[in-house]
Amino acid sequence: MPPVNLPPQARAKWAKTLEARTPEEKLKALQEFLSSIPDHKGSAKLRAHVKHQIAVLRRLIEEQRARRRGGGPSFAVEKEGAAQVVLLGWPNSGKSSLLRALTNAKPEVSEQPYMTQLPVPGMMPYQDLKFQLVEAPSLRGLERDAATLSLARNADALALVVDLSSDPVAQLESMLEELRDAGIVVGRPKARIEVERQTTGGVRVALMGALLGCSERDVAELLAGYGVRHALVKIWGEATLDDVEDALLRKLVYKPAVVVANKLDALSAGEALRKLEEASQGLALVATSAKQGVDAIQLGEAVFKALDVIRVYTKAPGEPPSKEPLVVRRGSTVMDVAERVHKQLARRLKYAKVWSSRLPFSPQRVGASFILEDGDVVELRA
């Protein structure tokens, strides 16, 4: 992304957005900030992101007013299962048909566009897990997109549904662009940055990678220019100062994603699928047909791999392993699992026994820092 190069007046107005305490105050501050952003190529993505935030706040304020009056729908969907996966797509891409085929949900299926007005959740089984699939209202239109993209921002993963009968490459590129404008980065970026504002301690940089062409002092000076005096900046990968500024202004989130190519039964599907594979930017691609039958195993496997998680089965002494696994990030340790089970257990943890096919013998006594893998059985001893 080209540098934004905001003037001091715009930076001061952005700092005021951080001080806002209510949605109404935030909305006013963002509108003033938007009016102060220079209109040039380097600021295009920032302007688009701020417009998205304004649209989200307007919808939030409307929903709050409707609830105070005793009515009005909500876009919020409480998470269930191993992970929440939001189905995104253009109108008539087949999201409703896929949700019907993959889950217990019964959304209305129609050729008429924009039939889905509110999110529709359903549970998709995969091995001994269940993923919550949520059909989001179709993209295309700022007010509609604001709510749908907010749903995507809160999800654990995204399924980008495209129609193989209608230029799927254009559909995918359009969705990826809308997500970027909303501050949602799909896949694994070259740099991932999180800026956590704090009350004391100055600006500290935790490097899990490298800064390119700048120093930690430069990062602190950049944040100070935006009125941020105390923060922890976490950087994974290789990041420039422009990357840090982008993360600060747009509050980027990174989402695992898979591309679901629907309507494999279409006449032109073969050639369209070939082009889509070339344009999928390294994302996992699942081709299917809601009419002819959906391979839930293939989609479940793609989602599981994209999430980069593992299943760990806990057991009590003398008891069989739990049938329902804990789902944790790949690279998690025995201590991470203990903290998920109970904070007090984690504080009192002495050691653990692990059963695993990769070990020379099982069970093996291990310490808190032992890294677990998919399918491991763990007995925690305090």
Residue 71's pLDDT is: 61
Task: Name the percent of the chain in helix, strand, coil, to the closest 5.
Answer: 40, 25, 35
Q: What is the pLDDT of residue 307?
A: 93
Nearby residues of 310 by Cβ (< 8 Å), 6 or more positions away: 327, 328, 329, 330, 332, 372, 373, 374, 375, 376
3-class secondary structure, 309: strand
Cα angle, residue 86 at apex, residues 85 and 90 outer, rounded to 5°: 145
pLDDT of residue 49: 78
Q: What's the per-residue H, E or C state across 333-367?
A: EHHHHHHHHCHHHHHHCCEEEEECCCCCCCCEEEC
Residue found under tokens 């889950």? 103
Domain 310-381 CATH (choose: 3.30.70.380, 3.10.20.30, 3.40.50.720, 3.30.565.10): 3.10.20.30
99 neighbors 135 (Cβ within 8 angstroms) = yes
First and final C-alpha spacing in the chain: 50
Closest CA to 124 of 84, 89, 156: 84
Asked whether 222 and 193 are in contact (CB, 8 A), the reply is no
Contact 171, 276 (CB under 8 A): no
Pairing of strands 284-287, 191-197: unpaired
Contact in structure between 336 and 309 (CB atoms under 8 Å): no
Are 268 and 169 contacting, i.e. CB atoms less than 8 angstroms apart? no
* Under 8 Å between Cβ of 198 and 234: no
pLDDT tens-digit readout, 81-117: 999 999 999 888 889 889 998 998 877 665 655 556 7
Question: Would the CA dihedral through 342, 345, 350, 353 be positive or negative?
Answer: negative
What are 10's two structure tokens? 């715009």
Homologous superfamily in CATH for domain 83-187+256-307 = P-loop containing nucleotide triphosphate hydrolases (3.40.50.300)
pLDDT of residue 54: 85
Q: At 162, is the secondary structure helix, strand, or coil?
A: strand
- Please state whether beta strands 231-239 and 203-211 pair in parallel, antiparallel, or not at all (unpaired): parallel
DSSP for 1-24, please give it.
-------HHHHHHHHHHHH--SHH
Cβ(164)–Cβ(261) below 8 Å: yes
Pairwise CA distance, residues 362 & 343, whole Å: 27
Q: What is the pLDDT of residue 143?
A: 47
pLDDT at position 1, please?
42
Q: Which residues of the chain have pLDDT under 70?
A: 1-5, 67, 70-74, 108-116, 140-145
pLDDT value of residue 142 = 43
Q: What is the DSSP string of 216-266?
A: HHHHHHHHHHTT--SEEEEEEEEE-HHHHHHHHHH--EEE-EEEEEE-TTS
**What are the pLDDT digits (tens) for 254-306?**
899 999 999 998 888 889 999 999 988 889 999 998 878 778 899 999 999 99
**Is 83-187+256-307's fold the same as 310-381's?**
no
Q: Where are the chain's structural domains? A: 83-187+256-307, 188-253, 310-381
> Cα dist. 186→2, 109, 174, 179, 183 in Å?
19, 28, 13, 8, 10
